[in-house]
Structure 1
Amino acid sequence: MNLPRNELLRGSGDPPRFSAVIDLAEQVLRTWQQGWTEFLDAPIQQEVLTRLGGLSELRWQRHGGHPGAERCRLLCQRSDKEDVDQEDVDQESLSIPVQGLLVEGNFLFDPLRPEDLRQALQEMGASPGELGDLWVRGDRGGQGLCSLECAQALNGSIGAVRDVPIRCEAVTIDQLQLPAQRIARVFASVEASCRLDAIASAGFGISRAKVLAQIKSGRLRMNWGAIRQASRELAVGDSLQLQDRGTVEVLSVSRTKRDRWRVEMRRS
């Protein structure tokens, strides 16, 4: 079965990766065998689930190794598979092809960032699609999630972040110290305007200067899409996504007696 590729790709934020997901979906429809995508960023996950989630022949599940994962692999299955019991299908989906990775090094005098880990692992041979979430654990290095093949290839490997040597070790997910799961919180802030930079600053608890830096780096998104204008006005229902910092959604907006704006938002 061939899906309407051109129509599905129209307006996509990442056509090459979305096209690969379409290839997978067509393979699942043709062979009746479930399949996994590579690790995908949150915006392309949302795009896939929005554009392909309406196909009645397919069902999708998102797995990243822990409940709050931002980078996930999507499991694609036929929803009308009659020769397999539904309980068995669900059990199969629990066998998630994600493994833990320890990255050890002495960063006491050279602070480490998740993006430093990602760059170093890619320089050691990991492809971007093989790497899930990565996080720093104090000054002794970091931890993360990756594909089974990537964990096997990196296990015992030596690399470097700048001038700091690192060593990788493949571990099970339950051996990791997973990031704390965010608890959704609703709060309000009074702002002079409903500009993106004002709401992002209040919602994520960072300065406007840092908001501008995050926009420039592409780490801050609006409604899962790229955003370049800090002056963009937000409305009820709009949401902001900041890599490694979660999501802020605008719940309500009302004008105060002093002609300012009271913005109720939810951060998760």
Structure 2
Amino acid sequence: MDFNQAEIEDLLSRAAKGQIVLTDFLDPAAASLTRDLLRNYPEVNYKVDGGYPNAEKVRFAFYPIYVFPEDVELNLGFIEITGNFKFQAVTHRDFLGAILGTGIKREKVGDLILIPNGCQVVVDRDLVPYLIQQLDKVHRVGVTVKEIVREELLLPEAKTREVVAFVKSLRLDSVGASGFGISRSQMVKEIEGQKVRVNWKLQVKPSYEVAPGDVISLRGRGRVEVLEIAGVSKSGRNKVILRRYL
């Protein structure tokens, strides 16, 4: 979803005045900007959850500092959509389209996890009964929808590869090129073409200096995480340890 700063600030103001409020599901960029805004509200605590560790889409609960965290619910629900897809290939987009086709807004839906015979979905809990009743087809295939619990999610194992690079500097173009396995000139082109984000924020300066913990995203090529700056080689190059998400 597009980041609506005014809407998030309104929720934070309400929390500062004593309410417990929830955001919709936010993508990584919006979640990062929300964390930035939270620094302006020291009287507000928050919880964040997307249903499982490292979920891409998450929702926040904002609440006054005097409220106990265990008293705050994020109202997450979980459904499983299954059908006979043996003769009909379906994708993440097909399942999402079917859900939105029932009239539900995109921001009420979290991550979708493909499973062998269907899909598991994180949604606003209030919508679970509606989806069970209304969602009956995905790409012309009849489906069954049932509620599941968090522990039943079949999470895919993340595929990663560690990359050790020796770079002259910690510039984004240099580190990014090593992480994605492309030339530095190509990385510069991608950065200036507004295809690169650092910590989910658009970055258009090839000279931007990265640091441990930074996540570099390149449209169409995935993500690279900077794990460690492990010293300097005898030739004066920085040894950088990266994690490439495949």
Name which of structure 1's ranges 173-182 and 35-44 shifts more when overlaid on structure 2.
Answer: 173-182
Closer, same or farther: CA 198–21 of 1 in aligned 2, 3 Å: same
The one-letter code matched in structure 2 to 1:52 is L
- Alpha carbons 2:9, 2:37 under 8 Å: kept: no
Which residue matches 2:118? 141
- 1:71 corresponds, among 50, 57, 72, to 57
CA contact (8 A) 1:68 1:182 kept: no
Number of the residue aligned with 1:176: 153
Q: For residue 77 of structure 2, what is the aligned residue in structure 1?
A: 99
Contact (CA 8 Å) 1:104, 1:142: kept in 2 or not? Answer: yes
Candidates 96, 111, 118, aligned match of 1:118: 96
Of 1, 4, 20, 1:34 maps to 20
Identity of aligned residues (%): 20
Q: CA, structure 1 residues 267+78, in 2 after alignment: closer, same or farther (shift >3 Å)?
A: farther
Candidates 206, 215, 236, aligned match of 1:239: 215
Write the distance in 2 (CA, Å) between the matches of 1:200 and 1:109.
38
Partners of 2:24 and 2:63 in 1: how far apart? 15
What's the TM-score once normalised by structure 2's chain length? 0.73
Q: Which has the higher strand share?
A: 2
1:178 deviates by: 3.1
Question: Are the equivalent residues in 2 in contact too, given 1:249–1:265 (CA < 8 A)?
Answer: yes
The equivalent residue for 2:180 is 201
> 2:105 maps to which residue?
127
**Distance change in 2, residues 1:197/1:267 (3 Å):** closer
State the 1:241 CA deviation: 3.9
* Code of the aligned partner of 1:143: Q
Structure-1-length-normalised TM-score: 0.68
Distance 1:64 1:108, change over 3 A: same
Following superposition, the deviation at residue 200 of structure 1 comes to 4.6
1:61–1:74 Cα contact (<8 Å) kept: yes
Q: In structure 1, what is the Cα distance between the partners aligned to 2:179 and 2:93?
A: 21
Q: Is residue 51–residue 76 contact of structure 2 (8 Å, CA) maintained in 1?
A: yes
Which runs of 4 or more aligned residues in structure 1 lie more than 6 Å from their structure 2 counterparts after TM superposition? 253-256
CA–CA distance in 1 between the matches of 2:87 and 2:20?
Answer: 47
- Distance (whole Å) between structure 1 residues aligned to residue 90 and residue 20 of structure 2: 38
**Paired residue for 1:154, among 131, 135, 138?**
131
Q: Cα distance, 1:267 vs. partner?
A: 5.3
Structure-2 change in CA distance of 1:177 and 1:44 (3 Å)? same
Would the aligned equivalents of 1:236 and 1:250 in 2 still touch at CA under 8 Å? no
Structure 1 unaligned regions, length at least 5: 1-12
Which has the larger displacement, 233-242 or 65-74? Answer: 233-242
Helix, strand or coil at the partner of 1:56: coil
Tell me the C-alpha RMSD between the 2 structures.
Answer: 3.8
Q: Distance in 2 between matches of 1:266 and 1:75?
A: 30
CA positional deviation for 1:107: 3.2
Aligned residues, how many?
229
Distance 1:171 1:248, change over 3 A: same
- Corresponding residue for 1:46? 32
